[in-house]
Structure 1
């Protein structure tokens, strides 16, 4: 069994203001996405300006925060929302959901594409390789905060998370960091480094993330307020990931059947 590294989840205190590592991870993800997007925009014939990149990252950041919070409330704590509607705005209590953030970013991209007169799938393919960095950093934030731990196990790399109990558990946050962050970024960055049919990069993102999340959910502790939602094994994370896998496969097939225009990186 490995020893869980006790790291103070508060990175910095400025009087009454506490800055958590999780929040810094979000900022790091947005900063990295902006830097990489700017780098790609500088490539000859990219069709992107510096101002467009800045606007896109800003809109996507809003989509992540607003969609992530709304998704967490509606997907994972809907009963509490019905009892306390104003709890939706209690962001200081924490609570973000990736699938809600994905919907928020999709809406932001749709708005941006219409405003800038760009093809929707050209924008999604531009954004998709930038997302895994934020996902990976977010999972590191979860690990530092000792939250979203895995199920009990006797594997040699198991850890005891103080906020859970005295059981040795899967460090599922690190599994997600590796798969949703490192592996997903590496594959998408390579795949998008040369011209691909429009929609194929976004489709690959949806497919791989959905598969990775579905698999990790088997060793991640279900949300306490929900538990298993069906068959004594299906979690909400798995249920929400299934449409991603299906949609991603369909989108890739649509792109490679010639219905999407070829787009550069």
Structure 2
């Protein structure tokens, strides 16, 4: 491979800024398309922007416990009825804000491969052929873990968290009226946070590669790490009960053992 001339520092900065600009423009364009393009199957009888149709679908995922085989038994035991929930708008444009938040969530997930491509295109000129293969594998793994985490957060963690919130509201005798902006904002933050949380094996692999941790350390301390993680999740999750923390803690245990296996496999290949 022929040596490429080293770029000046400011040229690297310009390339980085251009990459960030391209990513932001792509996401914004996608969000605008969702906000204005109609839902095809509702035409020509009714014009409903795609975002509002997706909001309705997400609301069904989070609130319809009767169709959720994981949460249905718990909802029945707690006596929670999602049909009584009403989303209200405190301000004139709260629904629009909720639509923008939903567009951002969908855009981040759908466009994650495009974002990964822009990132790879930025760093690719400085990589050797063997490094390119490694980076591609890492990017694919990050995408799969992140999207899996967002889906798990949307279908399990957020419905479970809202189920507990609704149960506590009913115990207190409060009418189940929730802000539409807060509802979709919490779904956005929670789902993206779970997506980032699922990227734990990549973080561990990186630490292993630079020699900070080893397979033996992970194997001997997994119980302590698991219980400390669950304790931390109990503090950080909005659900005051340990339910949501366990919903995240159990996948974390699987991700932890996945990290151990990946480190062991990598070490065996390097022998």
Q: TM-score normalised to the size of structure 2?
A: 0.34
More helix by share: 2
More strand by share: 1
Q: Which structure has the greater CA radius of gyration?
A: 2
Q: TM-score normalised to the size of structure 1?
A: 0.35
